[in-house]
Amino acid sequence: MMRIGVIGSGTWGTALAVLLIHNGEAVTLWSAFEKEAQQIRESRRHPNLPDAEIPNSLEITADLEKAMEGKDILVLAVPSIYVRETARKMAPFCRKGQIVVNVAKGIEEESLKVLSQVIEEELPEADIAVLSGPSHAEEVSRFLPTTCVVGAHSRETAETVQKVFMSQVFRVYTSPDMMGIELGAALKNVIALAAGIADGLGYGDNTKAALITRGIAEISRLGTAMGGKPQTFAGLSGIGDLIVTCASMHSRNRRAGILIGKGYTMEAAMKEVKMVVEGVYSAKAARTLARKYQVPMPIVEQVNEVLFEGKAAGDAVQDLMLRDRQIENRDLEWE
């Protein structure tokens, strides 16, 4: 039995805590708020996961030191915008060589770093891994079959995390490409906003397929320019996560996009969704990175103009459709 601390009691952290308890591990779930910890502890329910039963064996606390003390693995499951702040709070209680698995998805807007890099700055002696893939919390908490990938600096760490999370309903692959995994996970949220906007405008399956296909092309271009591997973007944290995030109503990014397509402002859409919409925070960073690496990302550009510059969603789609004629794959040659 492994001792695991899940740092963050949002839907994803709670779903993973429930999964790990059912895998036979000893799990403590940490909330940043005492009132929330007490509510979950007493009701054995999470307000945003109404179908999930939280076992009595899952310990729930608002004491960060208690959640971390003596743990074999820590799972960092706070929203991306709180990762640095939370990791900094963890630092006094983090031992050398502590395995910390990041499960948040995003790019830090100010530094343009992926989240594992942010955590490594705040917890320099920890052994950082990342877990990602097409995995909505609502389905994981109900034990519906799900597949993810874990990346780490060493094979040993990746296989340790793989073994802990693996079950009959949660299959985990390993990969050395942490950068690719994290970029795929973060950038797909921006494309999912675009897919939602298209839905809100009343467009159909053809439009959705186009956004997914051209979206993964943009993600792959930037991802490989930053050191990610092409195979990763064809895998679970690339096209896999992009498909599920663009297609599912569990996706807060798609739901926010639908509202924006219907005429909501970005702020009003985020308020309506009532959860952190990661794509909004990753969009500016994605555009800045695209320009830094001189990588064309027209969908990301248009999403930024809609979110932050007041551009009408319909005009953004029109501008995408009327771009100059292009070759689909520049690596293919004419005979």
Active site residue ranges: 188
Which amino acid is residue 312, in one-letter code?
Answer: A
For residue 35, the one-letter residue type is: K
Q: Give, in order, the Cα–Cα distances in Å from 1 to each of 23, 81, 174.
A: 9, 32, 21
Backbone phi, then psi, for 45, in 5-degree steps? -140, 150
Tokens 């064996």 belong to: 57
**Cα 297 to Cα 50: distance, rounded to the nearest angstrom:** 38
Closest CA to 9 of 39, 35, 38, 29: 29
> How many CB atoms are located within 10 Å of the residue 124 CB?
11
CA atoms within 13 A on the CB side of 219: 36
Beta strands in 187-331 (DSSP E): none
Q: Which residues pair with 151 in a beta bridge?
A: 130, 175
3-state per-residue secondary structure call for 121-141: HHCCCCEEEEEECCCCHHHHC
Using CA atoms, how far apart are residues 45 and 55, in angstroms rounded to an integer? Answer: 9
> Any idea of the CA torsion for 325, 327, 328, 334, to the nearest 10 degrees?
150
Q: 286: how many CB neighbours lie within 10 A of its CB?
A: 29
Residue 295 structure tokens: 């990588």
